[in-house]
C-alpha cells in the first residue's frame, strides 16, 4: 500500500451568503466576502450562484449577489 502525503489531504466546507449593494453586483459580492471573512477563516473560493436586483417604483434600488464560499476545516 502506498503511503499518502498528509499535506495534500484537505477538507473544505461550503456555505452560502448574500451580499447587497446600492452600486453594483461586484460591490455586493465584495461586501459578502469581506463580511464573511470577519468570522470564517481560510476562505478559498467564492462562486457566484445568482445575481438579482430589488426594484421599487420601477427603479433598481439594490443589487444582490448570492455566493457559495468555501473554507478549509482546521484540524
Sign of CA dihedral 39, 54, 68, 27: negative
Closest CA to 29 of 16, 19, 39, 37: 19
The secondary structure of 17-67, three-state, reads EEEEECCCHHHHHHHHHHHHHCCCCCEEEEEEEEEEEEEECCEEEEEEEEE
For 1-21, what is each residue's pLDDT tens digit?
555 555 678 889 999 999 999
- Residue by residue, pLDDT tens for the chain (75 residues) are 555 555 678 889 999 999 999 999 999 999 999 999 999 988 999 999 999 999 999 999 999 999 999 998 877
DSSP annotation of 12: E
Q: Which domains does the chain have, with CATH numbers?
A: 12-72 (3.30.1660.10)
pLDDT of residue 7: 63
C-alpha cell at 22: 446600492
Amino acid at each position: 500500500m502506498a503511503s499518502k502525503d498528509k499535506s495534500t489531504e484537505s477538507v473544505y466546507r461550503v456555505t452560502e451568503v448574500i451580499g447587497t449593494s446600492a452600486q453594483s453586483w461586484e460591490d455586493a459580492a465584495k461586501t459578502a466576502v469581506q463580511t464573511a471573512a470577519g468570522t470564517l477563516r481560510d476562505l478559498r473560493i467564492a462562486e457566484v450562484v445568482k445575481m438579482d436586483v430589488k426594484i421599487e417604483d420601477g427603479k433598481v434600488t439594490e443589487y444582490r449577489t448570492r455566493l457559495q464560499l468555501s473554507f478549509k476545516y482546521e484540524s
